[in-house]
Amino acid sequence: MTAKSFVRKVPSGMSGLWRATAPKLARLDIELTERCNCACLHCSVARPAGDAEAKAREWPTERWQTLLGEAAGLGCLVVRLTGGEPLLRSDFEAIYLHARKLGLRVMLFTNATLVTPRLARLLRDVPPLEAVEISIYGMTRESCEAVTRAPGSFAAARRGLGLLAENGVPFVVKGAVLPPTRGQADEFEAWAAGLSGNAGPPAFAVLFDLHSRRDAARSAGIAGLRSGGDEFVRFSRRHGDEAVGEWGEFCGRAGGARGDRLFICLPAAASASVDPYGRLQYCLGLRHPAAVYDLAAGSLREAVTEFLPRLRETRAADPAYLERCARCFLRGLCAQCPAKSWAEHGTLDTPVEYFCGVAHAQAIAAGLLGPGEKAWAVRDGAERAKRRRNGS
């Protein structure tokens, strides 16, 4: 017996935990419901809270509990409970407790309006082990409810935050840059910094996906709210050029064009998501039928060990993708991915002009492209990125 240290502490991010094989499933995202008590302008998911048809189709408590057990059996360490608004489910506590008793860490995504004293105490006594992530849209009642279109949601969310803070439950708040909230970011950051219980600086959603079930009217509404590439660059630069420097760095690290492989998104590796009706997807936004596996007709193990690895091998066929994205040195920086292509075009592999424009604006700001240059057409893209990374 020689080892004096018998325990090894590793950061909860999990990198470094596995000495041999990593588990087949590291994280499972569960969309407990598509319903929400808010109706945010930019939301790519939500249905009305009272949508009885959606509610009737949602998986019942026991199905989720069984699935969580299967996920734990595959080595899953973290489960994200999201929606819609997951707290609309009357069985939320039962599902949450089941996950925690299986030894899963829980990431809870909520708008905080339905946090009750009882739930806050539960989160205090049986902590999720991940900061609760709370979307808050707007610094005033007017701007907030212009986004949520839910009267009373501003006060309800503040009350929810207060309950979490009183009970010492760590959380982070997330904002969004939308017409009613434009220009509020600094105030939002200062407010967030002063919140007791707040575990970190806020993140802002600036670039929005179209509707993930491809509702044309909803998508048109979201498209009308989007910030352009230049506005995104200005927003990212509001505290200095650090972010812009990181874009250059990132492109250098990402190593240039990625060819015709479609699924290159690192955070999604070894993770999966399930919609409220038991359909497993590669990630939350990707509802293309070819990328969906019906758990009712199979098993989580089969989905994770056979279906997803097969899907990850999918190659692009769209000529525009092959001409552009496959040869583009901004591929690592650009948000283009199968989920964006699905929401925008109903395909897996069509370049999305909106995200293409944003990536080009970022690249120009980072000194990687000149105005008018097209990233896929420059021959020395990888060298430019490398030079930027080396600071020359």
- 324 binds ligand SF4, rule: CB under 6 A: yes
Q: With CB under 8 A as the contact rule, which of the stretches 103-111, 185-193, 253-261, 337-345 interacts with another protein?
A: 103-111
User: How far out from the chain centre does Cα 266 lie?
Assistant: 13
Binder to ligand SF4 among 376, 378, 381, 388 (CB under 6 A)? 376
Cβ atoms of 50 and 84 closer than 8 Å: no
Cβ atoms of 137 and 175 closer than 8 Å: yes
CB within 8 A of 131, min separation 6: which ones? 170, 171, 172, 199, 200
Binder to another protein among 80, 89, 105, 360 (CB under 8 A)? 105
CB within 8 A of 163, min separation 6: which ones? 115, 116, 117, 119, 120
> From the CB of 130, what's the least distance to another protein, in Å?
9
Number of residues this chain uses to bind ligand SF4 (CB under 6 A)? 25
Between 177 and 304, name the residue whose CB sits nearer to ligand SF4.
177
- 233 binds ligand SF4, rule: CB under 6 A: no
Cβ atoms of 128 and 105 closer than 8 Å: yes
Number of residues this chain uses to bind another protein (CB under 8 A)? 35
Q: With CB under 6 A as the contact rule, which of the stretches 92-100, 181-189, 305-313, 350-358 interacts with ligand SF4?
A: 350-358
> From the CB of 177, what's the least distance to ligand SF4, in Å?
14
Binder to another protein among 39, 102, 292, 335 (CB under 8 A)? 102
Give the Cα separation of 209 and 345 in Å (integer): 12
Could you say which residues in the range 18-37 bind ligand SF4, by CB under 6 A? 36
> From the CB of 148, what's the least distance to ligand SF4, in Å?
6
Q: Which two tokens stand for residue 76?
A: 């899953």
Cβ atoms of 363 and 330 closer than 8 Å: yes
Q: Tell me whether strands 105-110 and 78-82 are parallel, antiparallel or unpaired.
A: parallel
Could you say which residues in the range 107-136 bind ligand SF4, by CB under 6 A? 111, 135
Could you say which residues in the range 71-90 bind another protein, by CB under 8 A? 72, 75, 77
Strand order in the sheet with 78-82: 203-205, 171-176, 132-135, 105-110, 78-82, 27-31, 271-274, 279-281, 292-294
Q: Which two tokens stand for residue 82?
A: 């999201």
Binder to another protein among 43, 98, 107, 124 (CB under 8 A)? 124
Q: With CB under 6 A as the contact rule, which of the stretches 71-79, 239-247, 274-282, 351-359 interacts with ligand SF4?
A: 351-359
> From the CB of 279, what's the least distance to ligand SF4, in Å?
18
Binder to another protein among 1, 52, 296, 297 (CB under 8 A)? 1
- 281 interacts with, out of ligand SF4, another protein, none, CB within 5 to 8 A per kind: none
Q: Which two tokens stand for residue 35?
A: 């319903």
- 355 binds ligand SF4, rule: CB under 6 A: yes
Binder to ligand SF4 among 28, 30, 46, 76 (CB under 6 A)? 46
CB within 8 A of 327, min separation 6: which ones? 257, 376
DSSP string computed for 300-344: HHHIIIIIHHHHHT-B---HHHHHTGGG-TTTTTS---HHHHHHH
- 328 binds ligand SF4, rule: CB under 6 A: yes
Cβ atoms of 336 and 356 closer than 8 Å: yes
> From the CB of 74, what's the least distance to ligand SF4, in Å?
27
Nearest to 98 by CA among 143, 64, 56, 54: 64
- 212 binds ligand SF4, rule: CB under 6 A: no
Could you say which residues in the range 156-195 bind another protein, by CB under 8 A? 170
- 8 binds another protein, rule: CB under 8 A: yes
- 84 binds ligand SF4, rule: CB under 6 A: yes
Cβ atoms of 366 and 245 closer than 8 Å: yes
Binding site for ligand SF4 (CB under 6 A): 36, 38-40, 43, 45-46, 83-85, 111, 135, 324-325, 328, 330-331, 334, 336, 351, 355-356, 359, 375-376
Binding site for another protein (CB under 8 A): 1-12, 14, 17-23, 72, 75, 77, 100-105, 124-127, 129, 170
